[in-house]
Structure 1
């Protein structure tokens, strides 16, 4: 989605996305549809028959004040069964194949490779439909509703959302909903967002919104662990390791797809430093009062920084180290301890994750969209006048051109050799781009 959004914006192409929600997806798929889907997709008949026996003759009862009569269970996958997601994926693939036949005939989707149209992105029951016009997307939603019903799935149109980039918003005008088979689907404004796979998805400020969302998730995790993180009976080393093992993953989830700028890196750095200062827990030092020529004290107070310290009276404040010096000292103490323990700050960790994922994507040969779209340059559309916005691929190109003199995009070939790619990782992490 990152590259799709960036390239369509750069070339001023409309992009429409529908975040589809299925109502009680795993509980509604028909058993007969499961067995048909597995056989159509080449699963050995002996395996299918084994699964059929596991699901046959199931019944249920409802207990309220009395126990209801037994009723047959002929829909849904078993909760907690590790094979249930696989069975659901097979059913959804059966439905999507039928829908794609219609979409291919009508040319719906976005052509990111000659002869291949990007029409949907899926992870289990989380589905995104992609189109180049609102009309196409409306038709795709209608087709998906029809084929989904055939396998027992019902789209939840109240939770399904339509998004468009800045160019696509021109087709939105003032409308807030779109009619799909006589039912209304919400059409989000450019700055609005919806959740997809744990990320805040918007086609407005794509990266800024998500980074703010991840920082918010990090603070939620921090407050849930504050008692332990601020407990000085535990060593600072142990608390830093807990911080890195719990809060860092919450903040950097999906960060390999972020396009970072200096301002976005400062957002990460500022949030991490604020958290670290809260559990380092060092008091302000007592320092000598240095009188200036006019007789006033040169020691600053919390009020000088727009902050108020309610724990000290005016006489005590005059003897404490400057407020900003105290904040800097806490920050440096925590960062020095992190370096001693081999823990990178969030900015460096984000860069490392992006570099590793880029190499992984470059080496894949299974035709995934996430690899194919890296090379995508639209044949239509035109760039805006002036410098284009920063793209996900730009910082990799920049570092590789400085370190190995490779041309733009040639890093893809260099990444095929994993040890060689690993050698350049530290250059990318340490060079500010």
Structure 2
């Protein structure tokens, strides 16, 4: 056991440390696996066989939903031209972008194998990928995927509240990285799309929305925002619609017989292409329309205009196979006057809210950020509980514990705060919460009368307020370099 803790204190053992933290978090939960599920009529299934049959039925329906758009492609001709052979430098770049330590697919070959083999792997993979191009057929191993189920919010016994993440062959993901790099060179995505785009992040979209809301609040004018939710967005993209959008973008055509999977390296960019083409006629300039993959926010100066824009978006998306969720789409009015009413979608009232969690950051209709500060504190405590088994382990050095704390807990507390104008009271609220966590981790209380500076020094962390300012300056530099 002593040698185990000694290894954790080395650079090589740091990954084992995070695995240990995740395992201890799982071991501390009462329920780690849902063994019962409801069928389509609401009856609870308890036997293992019936539960498996229900999951199979659910995913077959979800992934093969009948859609008229999926049966035809219209209006755009194929773009057929010579496709250059895949070069070794393309494979090297793709291999460099692949992260290690990820779950493997059905072939059980992790990307670490190819990384260890070096140039021999690059040469072999380039040859393999070129054979795939020439034959227009993928290896059978790439067609199989494992689908672990992850819980979303809602009823734990309802299939619709879970999502499947496909575990695919790492070799296939390398192939997808090469294809993605080529697509990005020839396809131009609109400026309103912030998701999975180079030099853009959630911070940019959150900041743009907050600034817009603050401007209208300061000018004593109403701003109407609708946050559009798409039902099972990735799973609902018809295959033929994907080909239509790619042809319209002018990409070279060759067969790739694998769809838009969550877990695929290529899916995010393919989805961005689809959304770019589907929204071409209805989107407005940023920040009046902003997209982060399937997260869409539509803003306008009047309720009537935002309602009209929402209906146009619904029509544009649903005629191409996507579906707007009326129950999850929400409306918010900034600086609302009395009796401004609500927004309707196909005759039904859209839920009106005073706050909304946009890309993980809470925005309020009054333009304040008090709720967001409380959410950051809560996120910090949630992160602390997940790794408390490590942070409170006295056999692990303070240096390593400090790194775990900064990576898991502090990162959760700092998320999105670059976009928030913090008051002294709010900054103090964050620092008080952090010091409580650090004292718990070190096994001391305020009765021990240990100064805050000593607590931070022992845990190897700086003042949280200073880190917020650092993050703000870092993001400002990123924006300046982009311009």
Task: Give your verdict on TM over 0.5.
Answer: yes
Match of 1:164 in 2: 333
Match of 2:374 in 1: 212
- Cα shift at 1:199: 1.9
Secondary structure of the structure 2 residue equivalent to 1:127: strand
Match of 1:236 in 2: 398
Secondary structure of the structure 2 residue equivalent to 1:164: strand
- Cα shift at 1:227: 2.3
Distance, in Å, in 1 between the alignment partners of 2:418 and 2:272 is: 26
Q: Does residue 466 of structure 2 align to residue 345 of structure 1?
A: no
Secondary structure of the structure 2 residue equivalent to 1:97: coil
- Cα shift at 1:171: 5.8
Q: Does residue 254 of structure 2 align to residue 136 of structure 1?
A: no
Q: Does residue 383 of structure 2 align to residue 200 of structure 1?
A: no
TM-aligned CA distance change 1:172 to 1:81, over 3 Å:
farther
Match of 1:222 in 2: 384
Match of 2:225 in 1: 17
Residue of 313, 323, 345 corresponding to 1:180: 345
Distance, in Å, in 1 between the alignment partners of 2:456 and 2:237 is: 52
Secondary structure of the structure 1 residue equivalent to 2:383: helix
Contact 1:134–1:171, Cα closer than 8 Å, also in 2: no
Q: Does residue 318 of structure 2 align to residue 149 of structure 1?
A: yes
Distance, in Å, in 1 between the alignment partners of 2:286 and 2:419 is: 22
Between the two proteins, the alignment pairs up a number of residues equal to: 275
Distance, in Å, in 2 between the alignment partners of 1:185 and 1:229 is: 44
Distance, in Å, in 2 between the alignment partners of 1:11 and 1:363 is: 31
Contact 1:20–1:126, Cα closer than 8 Å, also in 2: yes
Distance, in Å, in 1 between the alignment partners of 2:273 and 2:420 is: 31
Match of 2:410 in 1: 248
Secondary structure of the structure 2 residue equivalent to 1:225: helix
Distance, in Å, in 2 between the alignment partners of 1:7 and 1:205 is: 9
The aligned runs of 1:407-426 (5 Å cut-off) are none
- Cα shift at 1:235: 2.5
Match of 1:127 in 2: 296
Match of 1:275 in 2: 437
Q: TM-score, normalised by structure 1?
A: 0.60
Distance, in Å, in 1 between the alignment partners of 2:268 and 2:286 is: 26
Distance, in Å, in 1 between the alignment partners of 2:454 and 2:287 is: 50
Contact 1:282–1:330, Cα closer than 8 Å, also in 2: no
Contact 1:21–1:156, Cα closer than 8 Å, also in 2: yes
The aligned runs of 1:73-152 (5 Å cut-off) are 77-100=260-283, 118-152=287-321
Contact 1:276–1:331, Cα closer than 8 Å, also in 2: no
Distance, in Å, in 2 between the alignment partners of 1:217 and 1:282 is: 22
- Cα shift at 1:42: 2.7
TM-aligned CA distance change 1:203 to 1:335, over 3 Å:
same
- Cα shift at 1:172: 4.6
Contact 1:14–1:164, Cα closer than 8 Å, also in 2: yes
Secondary structure of the structure 2 residue equivalent to 1:26: coil
Distance, in Å, in 1 between the alignment partners of 2:267 and 2:338 is: 40
Distance, in Å, in 2 between the alignment partners of 1:118 and 1:227 is: 43
Contact 2:217–2:366, Cα closer than 8 Å, also in 1: no
Match of 1:358 in 2: 476
Distance, in Å, in 1 between the alignment partners of 2:286 and 2:388 is: 48
Secondary structure of the structure 2 residue equivalent to 1:18: strand
- Cα shift at 1:262: 1.0
Match of 2:188 in 1: none
Distance, in Å, in 2 between the alignment partners of 1:241 and 1:32 is: 47
- Cα shift at 1:136: 0.7
Distance, in Å, in 2 between the alignment partners of 1:357 and 1:199 is: 16
Residue of 25, 44, 50 corresponding to 2:255: 50
- Cα shift at 1:140: 0.6
Deviations 1:129-167 (A, max 9, x none): 11111111100110000000122110001000001112x
Match of 1:300 in 2: none
Deviations 1:85-142 (A, max 9, x none): 1111111111211213xx6xxxxxxxxxxxx664211110011111111111100110
- Cα shift at 1:330: 5.7
- Cα shift at 1:184: 2.2
Gaps of 5+ in 2: 1-208
Distance, in Å, in 2 between the alignment partners of 1:225 and 1:160 is: 34
Secondary structure of the structure 1 residue equivalent to 2:426: helix
Distance, in Å, in 2 between the alignment partners of 1:351 and 1:344 is: 12
TM-aligned CA distance change 1:79 to 1:332, over 3 Å:
closer
- Cα shift at 1:336: 2.6
Contact 2:224–2:332, Cα closer than 8 Å, also in 1: yes
Match of 2:242 in 1: 34
Gaps of 5+ in 1: 56-75, 104-115, 284-323, 366-433
Match of 2:455 in 1: 334
Q: TM-score, normalised by structure 2?
A: 0.54
Contact 2:298–2:306, Cα closer than 8 Å, also in 1: yes
Match of 1:431 in 2: none
Distance, in Å, in 2 between the alignment partners of 1:225 and 1:5 is: 36
